Amino acid sequence: MLIRNWLDTHGLADHAAVFEENEIDLDAARDLNENDLRELGIPMGPRKKLLRAIAALAANAEDPSVEGAREDQLSAERRQVTILFADICGYTNLSGVLDAEEIHSLLSTYFGAVDAIIADYGGSVDKHIGDSVMAVFGAPVAHSNDPERAVRAALAIQEAMPRVSAEAGHAIKVHIGVASGQVVASQVGSENHYTVTGDSVNLASRLTDEAGADETYLSSAVRQAVGSDCRTEALGELSLKGIAEPVRIHRLLSYDAAPAHSADRPFVGRQTELQQFSALLDACLDTQAGYLVYLRGEAGIGKTRLTEEFERRARERGFRAHRSLVLDFGAGKGQDAIRSLVRSLLAIPPPYDSSDRAAAVRKAAADGVVADNQITFLKDLLDLDQTPEDMVLYNAMQNTQRNRGKRETVANLARSLARTTPLFILVEDVHWADDIVLDHLAGLARAIADAPAILVMTSRIEGDPLSESWRASITATNVVTFDLRPLRPADALALAAGFFDVANQFARSCVERADGNPLFLEQLLRGAETATEEQVPGSVQSIVQARVDALDPPDKQALQAASVLGQRFTLQALRQLVDSPQYGCGKLIERHLIRPDGEALLFTHALVREGVYNSLLAPRRKDLHMRAADWYRKQDLVLHAEHLDRAGDPSAPNAYLDASTSQSDALHFETAASLARRGVALASDSDLKCRLNCTLANALLNIGETEKAIAAYEEATGHAGTDEQSCEAWTGLAAALRMADQQERAIEALTHAEEAARRSNLLAEQAHIHYLRGNLYFPLGRIEECLSEHESAYRLAREVGSLEAEARALSGLGDAHYLKGRMLTAYDNFQTCVQLAEAQGFGRIVVANRHMVGWSRLHKMEFREALQDGLAAAEKAAHVSQLRAEVTSLLLVGSMSFRLGDLDTAVDYLERALEQTQRIGAGNFKANVQWELARVRAGQGDLATARREIQEALDTARAFALTFTGPAILASWAAMAEDSDARLKALEEGEAILTAGCVGHNYFWFCETAIDDALRHHEWDRAERYAGILDDYSRPQPLPFSDFMAERARVLAAWGRDGPNEERIRRLEALTAQARAADLQSALPLIKEALAKQ
């Protein structure tokens, strides 16, 4: 190896001229000391590097090319290389006229010249095959410009042939082929010969065959890599033997520029962006209004470096700076962008101990930067345990409500802090953000609209995640977008000046090859290249590989291990993977490959990690991922599963099941669904596919993806291998179908579930099946079946000792008795259910049943109390996003407000309820709300609107189930009808449904409306008949409200038919007192009208 090549291996080729001028070769270099190097004029930094390199050289008695390659570099890995083949033209004819000694002499002369040229340009001779030389540029040591080196070597070989011919005594002409691409580099054979294998080797050989004498053919990849200084002639496409697709070929003509080297750089350029950003900072302070700055650009264009300048200028103006990063992989617990940002906003110091996090929560509450009702959300964001009381409520929340609460908490925190001290908030790489992070960022952007804060977000242009709807959601916030373009040539030269004198040809060559991309230029100037895959720009991956080649074996192995861990990682995890408890990352930090990030470490750029990761062969990747999976087994189930997945380990699906379950338990259902979905894709075992699909479906239900949940449960039923699995899958399917108001299909699903449960005597599962079936019978008006199912559920719950199942069964019994019209018994069941659930912390059961206490209470003539029940239930349901419970609670408030005479309040709550029914697609509830709204409109005197809304209510009921509220709606439709025949027909249809059987409230609501309608039409007999229906229906369990309505009907009918008398006056006055005591304003107008006529 020449001294220049050895120096280049260590990134010190700039000093080669000094060594050559002083005739210092490799043997002499071994004896140099610090004084010798000082005398040579070597600066301190390079001098220290040289001393280390000389020590390694002196310790290795072999050819230093072996030392330069490094033991770990000789292990198998994927690399980006350039292959050169050089053959003698007409060698067969020569061998026919020359004897063996002459051939040997000729080849020795030829190989000596060609091998030396290859070495001079930094390549290595892989082998001699007959008269052919195979050379590799980029392995075992890479350079930033290996394609250029190979092309220049080809030109030098052609230029050397006249001299070689003279020395050999025979005319020698060569033809050369050069190709670039991915290879596997490794030691093979019994002698552990280092070589490369891959398509580019075959391609280079075929190009040599096609080239004529004195010609060099280049592949299109080589032509593209060497730039415009290389002059070529395009020859079009050729089909080559052994190459699958036709290839574009270029004939090499000349190369005008000279080889290159590397160094360091300051911040340059971007003056327009800096000036605009400085103006934004000043405007923000002057107006106390915030800005969103969106910085977009391709990978490596300089976004991160520019934001560092943004941050510096913000700090100079008194802004407090906070940084966060969105990761594509390796974001462990507490490391996601939003949680990291929250820790920064609260000034929690590393290593983020739970005591420090808890203290930060207390301080935030004391300072008033978060509201009291946001503490539970803040604790979640800081991964702190909730109090038992808070956990009950938090568990009861719908997932959408928890996410909304966390978004509002983060936004409120930032807004509050900004009003004390201006904030600079940076969130990098939002092109990797998921919907949750994007929603958080939208909330932050809205929050700072009226606060002195700057939110800076960076993103790649490709895959820009900010949709039109996202932008529309932040219209109140000032938004400024910077699209970064490549650096101007002058700025790129200024950047290179931080490394070299720009007169240096290497610096200029790097500027040209980087084409305005600061990262490309920086990496080129730092010096190295190779190893890649298509998703990362090849030039960057080559540069990364060359920088890796300059590392000592332990540091290279550590960097490769770190690439497996992800963009951010901990030193503890890295030490586990490299099996070195004392390993430190000083060299990696010094070489700008990674940087500290709080208690963690971070690759300086995502492309650096990807380039290193892509150099690993599958066995090495698998080993490292398995080591990572083992490390995360007890620390982070999500990363444990992801690493097993990337290792291709068959236990990955099981790990995804555990991880998904843990995320569901933590109420992170979006993540749970994603994990389960990946597990399903990997699983081959039917048993596991069933469990994963059930887990996926449960998560989907909790985020409102009902149709997808149904599909997942259906998939699970096909994979169930045991009765337990079959029962879980079919029961889950029934629950999902019930959510979609597909009662008949749900009942059929429960039949399958019950068969499995009975076969294996699964009592707890049977209790749940009976409970679900009873719920399905409720809207269908199947009274006795509903009651029977819930009684069975209650019996089995008691038998197995499950308090949660018992509470659910009590809820079901309440529904069944409500359905049957036994409202007092229903009231008792619901009260007992809520009390038991509250005592045991079953928050979801509490929220789902509190409103039913009010619906059954109204039959006790306790309308004010029922209103309070509705208000409390609506607040709780909204807080935890139980939308169905919220709808019925709002409906209860609207209904009671109507009866209490507060029509405006009734409209307000009913319109809110109607909006919610449209969100969840609950047709039965929608019809109920539309009916109540129509009654209120009529009470307000707006009959036109009332008639339209009652028709809509009837249409909705017919589309879903007339047994739920159909009779009540038909009675009101009749009361508003303008055609007498249509009126009577509607009443008859309502009575027919009552006779056939339906939900119990219909008997009271139908008769309540039909009685008043009959009295207004002076149909005294009809009014008394409806009173009789009430009496008959409530006879098994008399109800105060039913008795009141029947008594009122009979007295007013008698009054209308026969006129007033003392007894009727006394009875009406008693009814008036009773109505006023209950504040039942809706019952008073007809009574007052009658009394006014006496």
pLDDT given for residue 855 in this prediction: 97
pLDDT given for residue 145 in this prediction: 74
In tens, the pLDDT along 847-903 reads 999 999 999 999 999 999 999 999 999 998 888 777 888 999 999 999 999 999 999
User: Do you find a cis peptide bond into 140, omega within 30 degrees of 0?
Assistant: yes
Please say if the pLDDT value at position 535 is more than 70.
no
pLDDT given for residue 32 in this prediction: 84
In whole angstroms, give the CA distance from residue 307 to residue 293. Answer: 10
- The answer to whether 153 touches 168, Cβ cutoff 8 Å, is no
* Pairwise pLDDT comparison (714 vs 140), residue with the higher score: 714
220 and 94 in a common domain? yes
In tens, the pLDDT along 598-637 reads 889 998 777 788 888 988 888 889 999 999 999 999 899 9
Q: Which amino acid is at 1000?
A: G
- The answer to whether 1010 touches 1039, Cβ cutoff 8 Å, is no
Q: Mean of the pLDDT values across residues 91-100?
A: 82
pLDDT given for residue 4 in this prediction: 66
Give 70's pLDDT tier (boundaries 50, 70, 90): very low
The secondary structure element, H or E, covering residue 619 is helix 618-632
407 and 294 in a common domain? yes
Supply the DSSP symbol for 349: P
* Pairwise pLDDT comparison (24 vs 321), residue with the higher score: 321
Beta strands (DSSP E) in 226-298 are 230-238, 247-255, 291-296
Please say if the pLDDT value at position 300 is more than 90.
no
Residue pointed to by tokens 């020449």: 2
**236: β partners:** 249
Residue 56 inside a domain? The answer is yes
- Cα torsion 476, 480, 483, 484 to 10°: value is -140
Please say if the pLDDT value at position 806 is more than 90.
yes
Q: Mean of the pLDDT values across residues 501-516?
A: 66
Angle between helix 1001-1016 and 1040-1058 (nearest 10): 20
Phi and psi, residue 10, nearest 5°: -100, 15
Give 242's pLDDT tier (boundaries 50, 70, 90): confident
* Pairwise pLDDT comparison (676 vs 589), residue with the higher score: 676
Q: How many domains in the chain?
A: 10
Strand 174-188 relative to strand 193-197: parallel, antiparallel, unpaired?
A: antiparallel
Angle between helix 303-316 and 271-287 (nearest 10): 40
Give 62's pLDDT tier (boundaries 50, 70, 90): very low
In tens, the pLDDT along 757-781 reads 999 999 999 999 999 999 898 878 7
Here the CATH number for the domain that contains residue 933 is 1.25.40
Here the CATH number for the domain that contains residue 481 is 3.40.50.300
Six-digit token string for 130: 């007959």
pLDDT given for residue 533 in this prediction: 35
Q: Mean of the pLDDT values across residues 493-521?
A: 67
Tell me the whole-structure pTM to 2 decimals.
0.69
In whole angstroms, give the CA distance from residue 1075 to residue 767. Answer: 43
Give 524's pLDDT tier (boundaries 50, 70, 90): low
**568: β partners:** 602
> Rounded to 5 degrees, what angle do the CA atoms 994, 999, 1000 make?
80
In whole angstroms, give the CA distance from residue 725 to residue 964. Answer: 34
360 and 309 in a common domain? yes
Task: Average the pLDDT over each of 18-27, 94-103, 153-162, 219-228 and give the range with the smallest value.
Answer: 18-27
Residue 266 inside a domain? The answer is no
In whole angstroms, give the CA distance from residue 606 to residue 563. Answer: 10
Q: Which amino acid is at 977?
A: A
In whole angstroms, give the CA distance from residue 628 to residue 621. Answer: 10
Burial of 587 (0-12, 13-18, 19+ CB in 10 A): middle
HEC profile of 846-899: HHHHHHHHHHHHHHHCCHHHHHHHHHHHHHHHHHHCCHHHHHHHHHHHHHHHHH
Residue range(s) defining the domain that contains residue 983: 922-997
* Pairwise pLDDT comparison (1068 vs 58), residue with the higher score: 1068
Task: Average the pLDDT over each of 492-501, 635-644, 980-989 and give the range with the smallest value.
Answer: 492-501
Burial of 692 (0-12, 13-18, 19+ CB in 10 A): buried
In whole angstroms, give the CA distance from residue 45 to residue 11. Answer: 12
HEC profile of 169-195: CCCCCEEEEEEEEEEEEEEECCCCEEE
Distances (CA, A) of 761 to 717, 756, 794, 878: 19, 8, 17, 39
Residue pointed to by tokens 């059954």: 856
286-318 burial code (b ≥16 CB/10 A, e <16):
eeebbbbbbbbbbbbbbbbbbbebbbeebeeee
pLDDT given for residue 67 in this prediction: 41
Please say if the pLDDT value at position 534 is more than 60.
no
Which residues 6+ apart lie within 8 Å of 679 measured at CB? 641, 652, 653, 654, 655, 656, 657, 660, 688, 692, 695, 696
Q: Mean of the pLDDT values across residues 810-838?
A: 95
87 and 203 in a common domain? yes
State what percent of residues in the chain have pLDDT above 90. Answer: 61
659 and 584 in a common domain? no
Residue 578 inside a domain? The answer is yes
Q: Where are the alpha helices (DSSP H) in 265-331?
A: 271-287, 303-316
* Pairwise pLDDT comparison (706 vs 643), residue with the higher score: 643
pLDDT given for residue 913 in this prediction: 94
Residue 756 inside a domain? The answer is no
In whole angstroms, give the CA distance from residue 497 to residue 501. Answer: 6
Q: Which of 15, 36, 66 is the last residue of a domain?
A: 66
211 and 140 in a common domain? yes
Distances (CA, A) of 301 to 460, 499, 525, 593, 687: 9, 18, 15, 17, 49
Residue 1007 inside a domain? The answer is no
Here the CATH number for the domain that contains residue 49 is 1.10.150.50
In tens, the pLDDT along 460-493 reads 876 688 988 899 999 889 999 999 888 888 887 7
Which residues 6+ apart lie within 8 Å of 192 measured at CB? 74
495 and 470 in a common domain? no
Six-digit token string for 623: 């080993």
Residue 534 inside a domain? The answer is no
pLDDT given for residue 41 in this prediction: 80
pLDDT given for residue 1014 in this prediction: 97
HEC profile of 690-724: HHHHHHHHHHHHHCCCHHHHHHHHHHHHHHCCCHH
Q: Mean of the pLDDT values across residues 516-529?
A: 59
Six-digit token string for 400: 């959408």
77 three-class SS:
strand
1050 and 956 in a common domain? no
Here the CATH number for the domain that contains residue 664 is 1.25.40.10
Residue pointed to by tokens 């106390």: 288
pLDDT given for residue 793 in this prediction: 95
Count of CB atoms situated within 10 Å of the CB of 501 = 10
Q: Mean of the pLDDT values across residues 188-206?
A: 79
Give 333's pLDDT tier (boundaries 50, 70, 90): low
305 and 236 in a common domain? no
Q: Which of 812, 832, 857 is the last residue of a domain?
A: 857
278 and 213 in a common domain? no
pLDDT given for residue 519 in this prediction: 67
Six-digit token string for 890: 């709002």
Please say if the pLDDT value at position 61 is more than 50.
no
456 three-class SS:
strand
Q: Mean of the pLDDT values across residues 330-344?
A: 77
Q: How far apart are the first and last CA of the chain?
A: 125
Give 63's pLDDT tier (boundaries 50, 70, 90): very low
Please say if the pLDDT value at position 335 is more than 70.
no
224 and 209 in a common domain? yes
214 and 168 in a common domain? yes
Supply the DSSP symbol for 420: T
Six-digit token string for 978: 């303008």
Q: Which of 66, 84, 117 is the last residue of a domain?
A: 66
The pLDDT mean for the chain works out to: 87
- The answer to whether 471 touches 286, Cβ cutoff 8 Å, is no
Q: Mean of the pLDDT values across residues 411-436?
A: 93
Please say if the pLDDT value at position 459 is more than 80.
yes
Residue 980 inside a domain? The answer is yes
Q: In whole angstroms, what separates CA 717 from the centre of its chain?
A: 28
In whole angstroms, give the CA distance from residue 345 to residue 416. Answer: 11
Residue 558 inside a domain? The answer is no
